[in-house]
């Protein structure tokens, strides 16, 4: 299913996504798979509690071209961190701008390329890691669609022992009514390397569109990768994001997703702890308002002994928002000395908000430490009283409590500039309403 | 207290007598089987019709294997015998019970327990109760304690109203099966304000091979009343699979309290697929104490629908999955009124190649205030081949409610074992002590008689799996 060389038609038409067909001949196998796989059904455990009807793709068209005015506007709005090692900006799956890496990094063999260039110039390396892990949390059909349509996104290759201090950033804009995009992020971090990557998913207006993203992380022995995704699509968007992280010996993966946008957002994250000493931290923060549904599925798979995983997902829900968290820790036979933790916390801010939690464990080794917890509740009267009694108005007090609740997760990143940036996004969304 | 009369262990349950059934519905399940059962029982038309409809529902429903164990596919419904009995009316005195049946229950210690501490006993042998009696003083208070057929025939004004209402026929494939071929079980009614001091007990015994036992229990505790019900179950070891598929419905009216205690000790060839649910009205309390040992596959999730304000539901669950066994157990709490509270505590132990699964559902829907749920699941793994799973589903809506769920998995601490062995215990003794310590806080909630039995069962199951 992996394309040989991607030669993309530069002038997309307004063809409906479901009639679009594979992007190139090389994508055909994935397109066939997409068509043959069944649409998720209510009885599928991976879609339990999900609003299946939100998944109708018939309204969307293939990615639309960007005119010059929009291009300038989006570039102006693509402000990331004050200091970064590189930045690429895409809109509707077209590359708008590329701020390249410092020469020193390139000289040490670091590759950071748009997808098509990676396929053209580093085909073997790229293909050996492109969508090599199956989507096992229910999204196989969407993964196949992505594989048949992927034309935009970035490939980052960090050679052995190379440490990149500043974060690398990519913006993906989804704009125009009914359009679709397929952002791809592939990070291959060789042994003892170190990198931080931030994806920003943005819409400039509140139109409905469809985003189907895949991000895969490969960590060689002792590698350290931090991946951040700020999901801030339009509140009318339908989005699906599928992740797999493969953690090598003594490697450390840290992933944080901030969910702000989408009418329905589905994310599937799988951590494969394949070699001893590996560790994966899975973090997420969600602010869901109006009729948003944020549907998060996670899987911590301990396949080797002495591995650790730690998951913390926090959801703040207002209006008639819904969240689904379904997480599973699996400890395979022989994966002794596993230390796995999973925690989901839901803060309900309105009487119509609904939080569904399905924290699961499947343990097939006996010398392990595995714990999970799920709580759902509201702002405690005592907490509120404490702030009120110090003269802080009610609204402000509630906001502070919600921020405090969510900030804990951002702090776990250990990066002040990124935490600040994400915090600003959170506040912008929450303050718009409160 | 002498414990020998309570010695209902696996070896003790592993015996059977030659079959001498007067009534036998044959092998397989068709509408003729229903007519045979209904005819023999002399049931009114509405029950017969209820059964026929249920059979259609059963046949139409798929196996729930999209979430449950595929081992269910190994049940061959056409090889099972659905009704076996000698008579339809239970005896009021042990002297009138046939020799083999009486000896069965004597070996299980039932008459002895009845004399010692029970308010009433029902003893079911295959499809029908062979003995049913309630202490005169309890009967005089207006408490009704009889079998399902008798309850529906003699007291329709009490039982028909709730029969099949807590657990509708179509709730799941196995509740439909039970509704089609149910026989035996207990129907209990406790009048307003009556507090039954001693427990009522039922004992379910499977004697025949290739048999399915489908008892049906309905307990109604009227306003302000209290009752404790205990059930025990055993079957001999056969080469072929045996099916036990009960439906148990509890109704706790305003301010009533029901405690339902199960100590199940099925042999390893039994598929135990049971639906248990209660409705708790205003300020009522329902507590399920569920202890699952033995069987090939148990699927059982006692539930409480908290229908009235301030109702309270509780499930205390202990499961021990031995070699080759799968205990798929848990709890369901559906909050349907303000200020309702629920508590679930589950402890499971997996031994050898055993698998213990906790499956739970907590539902707190919209517009309710002051609802709280607490769930704790702890799993203990004894061997590296053992397996444990936890699959809870929790839905909370609105700002007035809260839920918290915690689960942990651990193994027996090597330091603990070393400590005990250094003080002269054998490894097996140390392990057993450690396991008993793990479940001890739950076992203490059982009536004394049952907690002693339970500890013995755990010891027995542990034998040979350690060291």
Q: What is the pLDDT of residues B89-124, one digit of tens each?
A: 888 888 888 888 888 888 878 888 887 778 888 888
The pLDDT assigned to B416 comes to 86
Is residue A421 in a domain? no
Residues in CB range of B134: below 8 A, 6 or more apart: B119, B120, B143, B145, B200
Q: Is B384 on the interface with A (CB under 8 A)?
A: yes
Secondary structure (DSSP) of B42-96: T--HHHHHHHHHHHHHHHHSPP-TTTS-GGGGG--GGG-B--EES-SS-BSSGGG
Q: Residue A347: enclosing H or E segment and its boundaries?
A: strand A338-348
Nearest-5° Cα angle at A83, A79 to A88 = 50
Per-residue pLDDT 10s for chain A (434 aa) are: 444 445 555 455 678 888 888 888 888 999 999 999 999 998 899 999 999 999 999 999 999 899 999 999 999 999 999 999 999 999 999 999 998 777 888 899 999 999 999 999 999 999 999 999 999 999 999 999 999 999 999 999 999 999 999 999 999 999 999 999 999 999 999 999 999 999 999 999 888 999 999 999 999 999 999 999 999 999 999 999 999 999 999 999 999 999 999 999 999 999 999 999 999 999 999 999 999 999 999 999 999 999 999 999 999 999 999 999 999 999 999 999 999 999 999 999 999 999 999 999 999 988 899 999 999 999 988 989 999 999 999 888 988 999 999 999 999 999 999 999 999 999 998 887 76
- DSSP state, residue B171: G
Confirm if B201 and B120 have CB atoms less than 8 A apart.
yes
Nearest to B392 among A44, A359, A367 (CB): A359
The dihedral through the CA atoms of A132, A135, A141, A147 has a sign that is: negative
Q: What is the pLDDT of residue B76?
A: 93
Residue B426: how many CB atoms within 10 A of its CB? 12
Pairing verdict, β B303-306 and B285-294: unpaired
A376 and B401 in contact by Cβ < 8 A?
yes
Mutate to test the interface with A, among B394, B410, B466 (most CBs of A within 10 A): B394
Nearest to B121 by CA among B92, B84, B81: B92
* Rounded-to-integer distance, Cα B7 and Cα B106, Å: 11
Tokens 């397109």, located at residue? A31
Instruction: Give the number of other Cβ atoms within 10 Å of residue B237's Cβ.
Output: 16
Confidence (pLDDT) at A431? 80
- Name the closest residue on chain A to residue B408, using Cα atoms: A371
Predicted confidence band of residue B234 (pLDDT cuts 50, 70, 90): confident
Would you call A378 and B400 a contact, using CB atoms and an 8 Å cutoff?
yes
| A168-173/B341-350 β-pairing | unpaired
Q: Given a cut of 80, is residue B461 above it in pLDDT?
A: no
Quick check: is A401 in a domain? no
DSSP string covering A103-138: HHHHHTT-EEEEHHHHHHHSHHHHHHHTT-S---SS
Assess whether pLDDT exceeds 80 at residue B46.
Answer: yes
d(CA B275, CA B273): 7
Give the residue among A249, A120, A102, A130 at the shortest CA–CA distance from A190. Answer: A249
Q: Residue B390 is nearest to which of A349, A350, A361, comparing CB atoms? A: A361
Q: Do A352 and B409 touch (CB under 8 A)?
A: no
Selected residue with higher pLDDT from A227 and B6:
A227
Residue A386 domain flag: no
Chain A contacts in chain B segment 328-367 (CB below 8 A): 364, 366-367
B13, B17, B19, B20: CA torsion to nearest 10 = -120
- The maximal CA–CA distance of chain B, rounded, in angstroms, is 69
Q: Which residue has the higher pLDDT, A287 or B427?
A: A287
Please answer yes or no on whether B392 and A366 come within 8 Å at the CB atom.
no
Give CA separation, A60 vs A16, A233, A238, in Å. 6, 15, 10
Out of B394, B400, B407, name the one closest to residue A356 (CB): B394
User: What is the number of residues in chain B?
Assistant: 467
Cα–Cα distance measured from residue A356 to residue B283, given in angstroms and rounded to the nearest whole number: 27
**Chain A partners of B411 at a C-beta cutoff of 8 Å?**
366-368
Cβ–Cβ of A49/B390 closer than 8 Å? no
- CA atoms of A334 and B289, how far apart (whole Å): 34
The predicted complex's ipTM stands at 0.87
- Asked which of A156-170, B320-334, B398-412 is least confident by mean pLDDT, the reply is B398-412
Q: Is B403 on the interface with A (CB under 8 A)?
A: yes
In angstroms, the CA B15 to CA B8 distance is 12
Cα gap A181→A173, rounded to integer Å: 9
Instruction: Tell me, yes or no, if B422 comes closer than 8 A to chain A by beta carbon.
Output: no
A373: which chain B residues are within 8 Å (Cβ-Cβ)?
404-407
- Domain extent for A70: 17-378
Comparing C-alpha atoms, which of A298, A368, A363 is closest to residue A331?
A363
Between CA A251 and CA A342 the distance in angstroms is: 19
- Kind of pairing between the strands at B402-411 and A368-377: antiparallel
What is the model's pLDDT at position B4? Answer: 35
The per-residue b/e assignment along B135-147, b for 16 or more CB within 10 angstroms, e otherwise, is beebeebebbbbb
Contacts of B194 (CB under 8 A, 6+ apart): B141, B142, B143, B222, B225, B226
- Report the pLDDT value the prediction gives residue B99, as an integer from 0 to 100: 85
CB contact under 8 A, B393 and A352: no
Q: Which pLDDT does position A178 carry in this prediction?
A: 93
Which among A349, A353, A363 has CB closest to B388?
A363
Pairs of CB atoms within 8 A across A/B: 134
Residue A360, min C-alpha distance to chain B (Å): 5
With beta carbons less than 8 A apart as the criterion, state whether B395 and A49 touch.
yes
Query: Sign of torsion, CA A24 A25 A26 A32?
Result: positive
What pLDDT shows up at residue A342? 96
Chain A nearest CA to B50, separation (Å):
28
| Domain spans in chain B, listed from the N-terminal domain onward | 4-462
The string of pLDDT tens digits covering residues B53-77 is 999 999 999 999 889 999 999 999 9
- Local structure of B150: helix, strand or coil: helix
Q: Which residues of A touch B (CB under 8 A)?
A: 43-45, 48-49, 333-334, 336, 346, 348-379
* Partner residue facing A373 (CB), from B364, B393, B406: B406
- Subunit contact A349:B367, Cβ cutoff 8 A: no
| d(C-alpha A24, C-alpha A7), whole Å | 7
Q: What is the pLDDT of residue A104?
A: 84
What are the tokens at A350?
A: 């309105």
**Structure pTM?**
0.91
Chain centre distance of CA A331 = 24
Number of structural domains (chain A) is 1
């Amino acid at each position: 299913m992996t394309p040989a060389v991607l030669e993309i038609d530069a002038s997309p038409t307004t063809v409906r996504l479901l009639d679009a067909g594979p992007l190139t001949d090389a994508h055909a196998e994935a397109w066939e798979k997409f068509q043959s796989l069944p649409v998720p059904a209510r009885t599928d455990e991976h879609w339990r509690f999900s609003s299946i009807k939100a998944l109708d793709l018939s309204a969307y068209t293939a990615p639309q071209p960007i005119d010059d005015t929009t291009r300038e506007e989006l570039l102006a709005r693509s402000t990331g961190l004050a200091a970064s090692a590189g930045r690429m900006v895409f809109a509707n799956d077209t590359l708008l701008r590329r701020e390249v890496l410092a020469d020193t990094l390139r000289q040490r063999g670091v590759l950071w390329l748009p997808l098509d260039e990676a396929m053209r110039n580093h085909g073997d390396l790229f293909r050996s890691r492109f969508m090599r892990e199956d989507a096992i949390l229910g999204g196989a059909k969407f993964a196949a669609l992505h594989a048949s349509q992927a034309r935009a996104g970035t490939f980052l290759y960090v050679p052995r022992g190379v440490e990149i201090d500043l974060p690398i950033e990519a913006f993906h804009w989804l704009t125009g009514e009914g359009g679709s995009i397929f952002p791809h992020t592939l990070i291959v971090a060789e042994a003892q390397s170190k990198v931080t990557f931030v994806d920003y998913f943005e819409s400039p207006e509140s139109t409905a569109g469809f985003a189907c993203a895949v991000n895969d992380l490969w960590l060689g022995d002792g590698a350290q990768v931090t991946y951040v995704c700020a999901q801030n699509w339009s509140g009318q968007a339908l989005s699906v994001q599928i992740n797999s992280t493969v953690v090598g010996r003594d490697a450390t993966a840290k992933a944080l997703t901030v969910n702000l946008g989408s009418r329905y957002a589905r994310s599937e994250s799988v951590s494969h702890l394949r070699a001893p000493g590996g560790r994966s931290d899975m973090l997420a923060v969600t602010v869901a308002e109006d009729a948003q549904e944020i549907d998060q599925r996670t899987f911590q798979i301990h396949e080797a002994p002495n591995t650790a995983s730690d998951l913390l997902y926090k959801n703040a829900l207002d209006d008639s928002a819904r969240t689904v968290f379904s997480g599973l820790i699996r400890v395979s036979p022989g994966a002794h000395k596993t230390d796995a933790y999973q925690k989901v916390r839901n803060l309900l801010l309105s009487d119509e908000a609904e939080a569904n939690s399905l924290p699961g464990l499947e343990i097939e080794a006996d010398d392990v430490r595995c714990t999970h917890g799920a709580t759902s509740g509201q702002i405690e009267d005592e907490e509120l009283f404490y702030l009120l009694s110090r003269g802080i108005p009610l609204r402000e007090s509630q906001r502070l409590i919600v921020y405090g609740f969510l900030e804990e997760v951002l702090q776990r990143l250990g990066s002040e500039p990124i935490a600040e940036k994400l915090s600003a996004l959170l506040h912008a969304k929450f303050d718009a309403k409160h | 207290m002498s414990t020998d009369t309570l010695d209902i262990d696996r070896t003790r349950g592993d015996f059977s007598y030659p079959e001498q059934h007067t009534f036998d519905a044959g092998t397989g399940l068709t509408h003729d089987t229903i007519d045979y059962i209904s005819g023999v029982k002399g049931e009114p038309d509405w029950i017969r019709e209820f059964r026929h409809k249920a059979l259609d529902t059963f046949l139409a429903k798929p196996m729930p294997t999209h979430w449950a164990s595929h081992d269910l596919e190994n049940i061959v419904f056409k090889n099972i015998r659905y009704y076996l009995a000698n008579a339809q009316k239970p005896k009021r005195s042990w002297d009138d019970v046939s020799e083999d049946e009486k000896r069965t229950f004597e070996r299980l210690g039932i008459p002895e327990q009845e004399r010692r501490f029970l308010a009433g006993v029902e003893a079911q042998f295959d499809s029908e109760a062979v003995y049913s009696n309630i202490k005169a003083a309890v009967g005089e208070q207006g408490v009704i304690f009889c079998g399902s057929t008798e309850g529906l025939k003699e007291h329709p004004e009490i039982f028909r109203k709730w029969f099949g209402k807590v657990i509708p026929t179509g709730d799941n494939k196995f509740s439909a099966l039970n509704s089609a071929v149910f026989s035996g079980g207990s129907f209990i009614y406790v009048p307003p304000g009556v507090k039954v001091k001693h427990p009522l007990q039922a004992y379910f015994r499977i004697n025949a091979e290739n048999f399915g036992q489908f008892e049906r229990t309905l307990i109604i505790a009227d306003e302000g009343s209290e009752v404790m019900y205990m059930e025990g179950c055993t079957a001999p070891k056969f080469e072929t699979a045996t099916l036990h598929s009960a439906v148990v419905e509890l109704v706790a009216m305003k301010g009533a309290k029901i405690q339902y205690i199960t100590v199940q000790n099925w042999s390893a060839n039994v598929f135990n697929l049971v639906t248990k649910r209660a409705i708790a009205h205003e300020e009522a309390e329902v507590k399920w104490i569920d202890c699952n040992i033995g069987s090939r596959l148990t699927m059982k999730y006692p539930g409480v629908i908290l229908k009235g304000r301030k109702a309270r539901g509780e499930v205390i669950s202990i499961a021990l999955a031995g070699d080759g066994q799968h205990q798929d157990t848990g709890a369901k709490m559906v909050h349907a009124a303000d200020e309702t509270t629920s508590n679930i505590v589950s402890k499971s132990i997996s031994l050898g190649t055993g698998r213990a699964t906790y499956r739970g559902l907590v539902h707190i829907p919209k517009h309710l205030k002051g609802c709280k749920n607490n769930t704790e699941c702890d799993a203990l793994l004894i061997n590296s081949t053992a397996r444990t799973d936890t699959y809870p589903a929790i839905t909370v809506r609105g700002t007035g409610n809260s839920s918290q769920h915690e689960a942990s998995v651990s193994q027996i601490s090597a330091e603990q074992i070393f400590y005990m062995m250094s003080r002269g215990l054998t490894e097996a003794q140390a392990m057993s002590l450690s396991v008993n310590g793990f479940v001890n806080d739950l076992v203490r909630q059982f009536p004394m008689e049952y907690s002693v039995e339970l500890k013995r069962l755990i010891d027995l199951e542990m034998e040979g799996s350690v060291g």
